[in-house]
Structure 1
């Protein structure tokens, strides 16, 4: 059990900006959470309630409202205790219960694999975030405390959680402008993912810090004195780069640690926007600016609401300086992003104005995520699309009316059209950039004005998927194509099935409702339309379905149960008229082998050996799995792969090839690699008639003194 003092730190932080009544409500939530988690402990051995309290403290540090702190204390109650969402609603209100439910994972559902579970949990979190953005703030604080205490986990689990943090949660924090949390998540994730690289880089930074301290102090004093001379009220501080930022910069720019560390970074915080631009002029007169290294994120904010002036300068001693200039409100938004919207500073109208802009941008991003979610095929597709959306090196372009649209670097006019509106994207036929007609695959550049040419009869082109960059454009194009294909596939499936039925002297029109229902039940489909769609899209083969219908009509439907699809006695390959046959390259089946068949969308009926390592996975799809066997009079030749271990002697390959030729066998492919100084491994792909023919070839080769070992692969 936690000590009575374990809540004191949270209450003390909350009391600095909440009323006494609100702080008392937090105490009540703690008492409830403590009781709910009684007897539970973390892997570290601590009482479980310490984790929710730590999460709430992280949120109290950035002064979130009372409901957020209560929800943080209770965020694991629904998932890990007998209490329900209704219990929380009754005690703490509907808002708190909705937030807690949004944070709760889908722990009680079963998934085929961990990736699917992760993707579905993420989808649920995004939907909850759309209702209340505080869901993601609590989830980020939860992940931050878990990362701080990650050391008690197994190394493999540490790496999995770290990868998820770097791929998803840190970018989300960045997308919402919460840089304080993003930077710590990145450094902790880096440490867990690459502990040796982290330690080396950390040691190098500490070693270099002493040599840089005097230079940083001198430049800081020089800039501060210039501000004082200009009567600008501001603070200057040297800004040390975080380890993960250094690591990514070294990777992306392929620069050494010494090159990266030669760049000195400073932040100047002033009182007003006007002073930001005056400060820019002052530092440019103090140190010479680097050409084309100035960015004005005040006039054109980043997609997450971030505002600042960025400039690069030639400093003293030949060093390069990176300088950020912003006012106090921009600095607050830079640290806390969307979280600043929930802070208790209602009396500051300027702060409210700044945070409302961030909130609007965050809500716009969440709205885009919802559109992507609605058009994604499944949770894994959705997660992949969101990952693409979370790593935007951005450009800023203009609509003909002068509105600014933010897009990832590499975006095209099609991405721009879908960013404006889905219907505009669907109707796009051309584009003008600064009044000049350009191809739709043209990469956009910042500052350009984009005019989309539309047509009411137009529709998305599948080729667009080869060059679009944004998740929204990709998902909307796929969604449109999928809906269009369903109708076309059903029409094609109807024609294919009608043609195949004629071979059994049956007609499509003669299929009664009873026959259709019976076949749908056997194949475990939801409707007859789904069967037609599967046929038209190639997921099922019409000759096989026609045979199944024939068996149903004859009253032998027990032979087409999903376990063997009508092939209890085995279907001879020679009896598969109308089917495209393909012999698997993974195992090269030949007459005489025990075989199975698997229906493939691209290749038709694929034949594998029973012993093939892929067969185990294929049997997990019984509706596509067939028991088949060779026809007694199978003719022709078939590829087979054999491996020999032979002595390294002059002419070895020629001797083996000659011996194979003596058996009237063609060699399709041959490759060789050294096993060691004395022996080579040789691979031959040869044409054989059956297992007897193969055995004869292998006997001939075994007689050669240079052949140590031979086997079929």
Structure 2
């Protein structure tokens, strides 16, 4: 009996492992053959054996995680047997005694290559290197090996985000920031819109929990009312579409918490002021020949019933997005004068939107023109990666993210060929999109027959002719208006090559000049030159010598002072220790922040990008040269800092603010009237005794918009000011804003 009791939990766990495995096999997007199932079973058995002694932070058997990742790969992403098998074994090489050679021997080269890519990414994610973006740069290099590596990694990240509550707060913040920074945009670019949306929501839940739960609660409170509205709307459309003899389904869904939060932020509105909180989706049955015809027929029926907003028509059927997404979006004025977004798409289009890359490959044989979009993008990624040495890691990932999320415009060559570019692209970007040589040698552009500079921003529908010259070369100022990664990387590559050649000439000149000044050229001398002329690298010194910026007079000055440079440095050494002694006593009185687990009092600066004040939730960021900089947790730069350089983040906590004042900027809007400014200043200065640092109010057509900078003691005092200002006649909106 005692022995049976000990085995009971193990038997239970084995039954649950078996149940989860069978559930995964029953929910596969692709139809599996007998051989497919044998391959998956073999991978499952190996994974179970490899992870048998491991457990997750939740206390569950570790094998639960690979099974759930495989389920996402099989069902939500929709990949086949090879990917499912690789997903089951994705942690085997990294976390167990099995080697890559073992995997190759048992499963062959293809699966071993995928697992090798996944292992490299996992190892990178555990490292704290100087710039964490360098890891993502390496992560993206795996695209050029096998796109399935990225797709399985997205599934792995999705399951980690679904189970993130078992992690400590610091780890939650790092993983969530990393997810919103890179994995959500990657899912978007792969056409996995449902996964992208869930990753965004889960990231928001951990990076800004108060805002997330506030929106979620309000959505739940209005759930029944919204469902009734959608039902009424559907009923009206349904009757008319049935009269036309169409086969269709109508679905209603709420917008995601993240998308509502983003609208509240970008449009500076409250939850109640976000007008399109849900969308209606009409999914119709049609063969390929009639797909477009039926889409526009449904559009005609809907707009006959409800008045459309002409500014909100999005036609991604005539010209699909570069992700392969196809749909017709319209916003109409529905019952009770509410705007409603209506999405019209065929069953095939809906499948592409739901499954992304997997559906793209399924339909590829019959729809080669449209569905080559994903392949085109992967080729662009590979081209970007080939030129990655021209960018530092942070810039590379920023450019890459821009190209993942950017809205698109569609422009034409003089022959009528169509090109897709990010919104905001210039004639120069278009030149590089055609060919690198055309970009390198372009002088200007004719847009719709009229001559414009290379910096001209293009609009959808423009027809562009690029004018080139064999004598033209890329210029440094081109980087000011080139927006695409391809253009920027090619320009930098060309400029760097030219700069390297000039630097080599400068090095030879420098050696000769130093010899004349009786100084031997050596690594030590070069390091002293870099410090003396305050350049970043030795190449910068050589370049400045070649261009004459460092002349003979400057070099003589360097030689004269070089002998005393050691003493010069030593004069500064004691000063580095002085602050901890001389400032210790006053700091104890003035400092209102403590840092790290031991709550130490350290020197810090308040970040100007978000101007934190006492009471705000904050964190410290250790800069390279300027010590600790304190940011608000909801600072616009917070996610980027936490995702890119999490190892530099330290915990910060307010403990006292009574003896220090902080700057806050208030944004006010409303109806203008005589005496308004007097009322505002009276409330702030006279009633609340708060110092106004600056006030700037502008008026147009009876409406005013203003910014007031005040010095406050803490968050409570600031909130009191906001409440008092809202009571003033004419003021419609008062909020705290970030400094420019």
Same fold (TM over 0.5): yes
Aligned residue in 1 for 2:243:
229
Distance 1:330 1:520 in 2: 62
Aligned residue in 1 for 2:79:
64
Aligned residue in 2 for 1:373:
388
Distance 1:417 1:487 in 2: 26
Of residues 525, 534, 539, the one that matches 1:533 is 539
Tell me by how many angstroms 1:531 deviates: 9.3
Mark the runs of 5 or more structure 1 residues left unpaired by the alignment: 524-529, 551-564, 574-588, 597-606, 619-644, 646-672, 677-713
For the Cα contact (< 8 Å) 1:407–1:416, is it kept in 2?
Answer: yes
CA deviations 1:214-240 (Å, max 9, x no partner) are: 221111011111111111111112232
Aligned residue in 2 for 1:214:
228
Aligned-CA RMSD value: 3.9
Tell me by how many angstroms 1:100 deviates: 0.9
Mark the runs of 5 or more structure 2 residues left unpaired by the alignment: 1-9, 530-535, 581-602, 604-622, 626-658, 660-709, 714-740
Is 1:101 the counterpart of 2:120 in the alignment? no
Aligned residue in 1 for 2:572:
595
For the Cα contact (< 8 Å) 1:266–1:321, is it kept in 2?
Answer: yes
Tell me by how many angstroms 1:189 deviates: 0.8
Closer, same or farther in 2 for the Cα pair 1:45/1:21, shift >3 Å? Answer: same
Tell me by how many angstroms 1:445 deviates: 0.9
Closer, same or farther in 2 for the Cα pair 1:121/1:15, shift >3 Å? Answer: same
Of residues 116, 119, 138, the one that matches 2:152 is 138
Aligned residue in 2 for 1:460:
474
Q: How does 1:105-124 map to 2 (within 5 A)?
A: 105=120, 113-114=128-129, 116=131, 118-124=132-138
Of residues 304, 307, 318, the one that matches 2:323 is 304
Bigger Rg over Cα: 1
Tell me by how many angstroms 1:86 deviates: 1.6
Distance 1:115 1:404 in 2: 42
Distance 2:141 2:496 in 1: 23
Distance 2:28 2:85 in 1: 11
3-state SS of paired residue (1:239): strand
Distance 2:281 2:171 in 1: 38
Is 1:359 the counterpart of 2:374 in the alignment? yes
Closer, same or farther in 2 for the Cα pair 1:298/1:372, shift >3 Å? Answer: farther
Q: How does 1:532-611 map to 2 (within 5 A)?
A: 533=539, 535-537=541-543, 571=566, 594-595=571-572, 611=578
Of residues 347, 360, 370, the one that matches 1:328 is 347
For the Cα contact (< 8 Å) 1:123–1:379, is it kept in 2?
Answer: yes
Closer, same or farther in 2 for the Cα pair 1:262/1:80, shift >3 Å? Answer: closer
Tell me by how many angstroms 1:325 deviates: 0.7
For the Cα contact (< 8 Å) 2:390–2:496, is it kept in 1?
Answer: no
Of residues 503, 507, 514, the one that matches 1:493 is 507
Aligned residue in 2 for 1:580:
none
Name which of structure 1's ranges 379-388 and 413-422 shifts more when overlaid on structure 2: 379-388
For the Cα contact (< 8 Å) 1:460–1:480, is it kept in 2?
Answer: yes
For the Cα contact (< 8 Å) 1:393–1:409, is it kept in 2?
Answer: yes
Aligned residue in 1 for 2:459:
445
Distance 2:420 2:81 in 1: 34
Q: TM-score with structure 2 length normalisation?
A: 0.69
Distance 2:310 2:525 in 1: 72
Name which of structure 1's ranges 531-540 and 187-196 shifts more when overlaid on structure 2: 531-540
How many corresponding residue pairs? 563
Distance 2:239 2:482 in 1: 50
Aligned residue in 1 for 2:598:
none
Aligned residue in 2 for 1:243:
257
Tell me by how many angstroms 1:368 deviates: 4.1
Distance 2:144 2:204 in 1: 29
Closer, same or farther in 2 for the Cα pair 1:109/1:353, shift >3 Å? Answer: closer
CA deviations 1:112-157 (Å, max 9, x no partner) are: 94462x3233222222212211111101000000000100111122
Closer, same or farther in 2 for the Cα pair 1:342/1:297, shift >3 Å? Answer: closer
For the Cα contact (< 8 Å) 1:371–1:472, is it kept in 2?
Answer: no
Tell me by how many angstroms 1:32 deviates: 1.0
Of residues 95, 107, 125, the one that matches 1:92 is 107
For the Cα contact (< 8 Å) 1:297–1:307, is it kept in 2?
Answer: yes
Name which of structure 1's ranges 426-435 and 489-498 shifts more when overlaid on structure 2: 489-498
Q: How does 1:169-180 map to 2 (within 5 A)?
A: 169-180=183-194
Tell me by how many angstroms 1:13 deviates: 2.8
Closer, same or farther in 2 for the Cα pair 1:521/1:444, shift >3 Å? Answer: closer
Aligned residue in 2 for 1:51:
65
Distance 2:91 2:551 in 1: 51
Aligned residue in 2 for 1:313:
332
Distance 1:112 1:484 in 2: 35
3-state SS of paired residue (2:312): coil
CA deviations 1:366-412 (Å, max 9, x no partner) are: 23432452533x43332232122222022111122222222222111
Aligned residue in 2 for 1:3:
14
For the Cα contact (< 8 Å) 2:253–2:280, is it kept in 1?
Answer: yes
Aligned residue in 1 for 2:313:
294
Closer, same or farther in 2 for the Cα pair 1:544/1:124, shift >3 Å? Answer: farther
Q: Which has the higher contact order (CA 8 A, sep 6+)?
A: 2
For the Cα contact (< 8 Å) 1:338–1:358, is it kept in 2?
Answer: no
Tell me by how many angstroms 1:68 deviates: 0.2
